[in-house]
């Protein structure tokens, strides 16, 4: 086992860190406070090719290994979770098209998705269907050479910029079990009947939009059915979510790492009773626990990412990484706030923002309890955690 990054990965990380320091850090707190979309930052991400992380080189992408992919999300989330979010759902959609799309779909969409000329997200969640995706009500009925889609999707990241947006639908609402009647269809921006109905206000994770999307008699060519065969949508989504959870875990790690860094520095600078508070045992215990949890999360993420690079399913491994990283992200940001005392509660310090950003990871792309169920299924089926 190699726990160190390669020289190439280190150089790539340094490039990301340099971009973050110059382009994101100076504006992150101000833009986050006003929920401003990071247009200029997105242009920089395009220039670095990061919209093509999950796209094969033959279609113009970077085709990054999953360890590097996770590292990118950690570094971006350290500065501003919302910026990392603009790449998260996009990368998930790109992975779905790269793995499951027809050759025509790949040729049509992937080159522009790789450059960021096109961007994407994924339309899964509905007002009455989140963790239980088989409970979705959005339908797609074949009418000649088009599907007619009707339904509502919510909490859709990149909704205003997605072109196309993969939308999970029921092409056979009567199928039993329900997943056998579910499909993914690519809906292009500007299609009549496809509208972003509202933006959803959020505690954190600002900058990138989260929207409700309405689909009313949306006519989409049948050629936009991902893979060209009905009834495979649920499998396509679940396969992508496995690796998508690696990026969510990495984002949680980035938030936790930044919170720890801020707390460590503050403990050195803040004096009480004639000495830095870092000299007090109570503070040292908190710092030690925080650092240990962060490193354990990083190792879990790199382990699951390495398993993904080796091929095969990583639902259990990614579930473990996402569960642990998300939970310690919440714990670490709260402990960092405690170390800051009253200043941690002030908007003048970055800890307040990190504290608001951390909870998303215990909810997004499967709640922590869903992750526990995924892990348990893997264990019960006999999957080896060590081997």
Known catalytic residues are: 365
Q: Are 105 and 97 in contact (CB under 8 A)?
A: yes
Residue for token digits 């992150």? 28
CA distance 288 to 296: 12
Q: Are 226 and 166 in contact (CB under 8 A)?
A: yes
CA distance 89 to 72: 14
CA distance 13 to 28: 19
Q: CB neighbours of 345 closer than 8 A, spacing ≥ 6? A: 337, 352
DSSP three-state, residue 385: coil
- What's the Cα-to-Cα distance from 256 to each of 65, 146, 268, 324, 353, rounded to whole Å? 23, 47, 19, 12, 12
Beta strands in the chain (DSSP E): 139-143, 146-157, 165-170, 182-187, 194-199, 210-221, 271-272, 275-276
Residue 315 CA to its chain's centroid (Å) = 15
Task: Look up residue 271 and give its two tokens.
Answer: 């004096």
- What's the Cα-to-Cα distance from 53 to each of 4, 95, 122, 282, rounded to whole Å? 21, 9, 16, 42
In the DSSP assignment, the letter for residue 22 is I
């Amino acid at each position: 086992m190699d726990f160190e990054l390669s020289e190439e990965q280190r150089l790539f990380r340094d490039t990301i860190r340099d971009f973050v320091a110059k382009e994101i850090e100076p504006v992150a707190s101000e833009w986050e406070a006003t929920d401003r979309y990071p247009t200029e930052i997105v242009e920089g991400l395009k220039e670095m090719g990061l919209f093509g992380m999950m796209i094969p080189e033959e279609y113009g992408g970077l085709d990054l290994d999953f360890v590097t992919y996770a590292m990118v999300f950690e570094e971006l989330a350290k500065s501003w979770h919302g910026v990392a979010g603009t790449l998260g759902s996009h990368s998930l959609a790109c992975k779905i098209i790269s793995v499951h799309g027809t050759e025509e779909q790949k040729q049509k969409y992937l080159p522009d998705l790789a450059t960021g000329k096109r961007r994407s997200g994924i339309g899964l969640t509905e007002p009455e269907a989140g963790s239980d995706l088989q409970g979705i009500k959005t339908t797609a009925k074949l009418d000649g050479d088009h599907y007619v889609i009707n339904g509502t999707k919510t909490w859709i990241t990149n909704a205003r910029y997605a072109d196309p947006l993969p939308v999970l639908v029921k092409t056979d609402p009567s199928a039993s079990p329900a997943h056998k009647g579910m499909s993914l269809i690519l809906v292009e921006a500007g299609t009549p009947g496809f509208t972003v109905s509202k933006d959803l206000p959020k505690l954190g994770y600002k900058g990138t939009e989260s929207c409700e999307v309405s689909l009313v008699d949306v006519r989409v060519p049948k050629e936009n059915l991902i893979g060209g065969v009905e009834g495979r949508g649920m499998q396509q989504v679940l396969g992508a979510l496995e690796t998508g959870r690696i990026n969510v875990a990495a984002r949680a790690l980035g938030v936790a790492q930044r919170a720890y860094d801020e707390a460590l520095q503050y403990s050195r600078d803040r004096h009480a009773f004639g000495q830095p508070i870092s000299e007090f045992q109570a503070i040292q215990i908190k710092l030690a626990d925080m650092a240990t949890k962060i490193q354990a999360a990083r190792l879990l993420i790199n382990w699951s990412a390495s398993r993904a690079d080796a091929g095969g399913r990583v639902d259990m491994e990614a579930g473990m990484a996402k569960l642990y990283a998300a939970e310690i992200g919440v714990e670490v940001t709260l402990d960092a706030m405690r170390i800051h005392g009253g200043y941690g509660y002030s908007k003048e310090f970055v800890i307040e923002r990190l504290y608001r950003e951390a909870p998303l990871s215990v909810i997004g792309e499967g709640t922590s309890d869903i992750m526990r169920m995924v892990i348990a299924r893997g264990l019960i089926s006999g999957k080896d955690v060590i081997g």
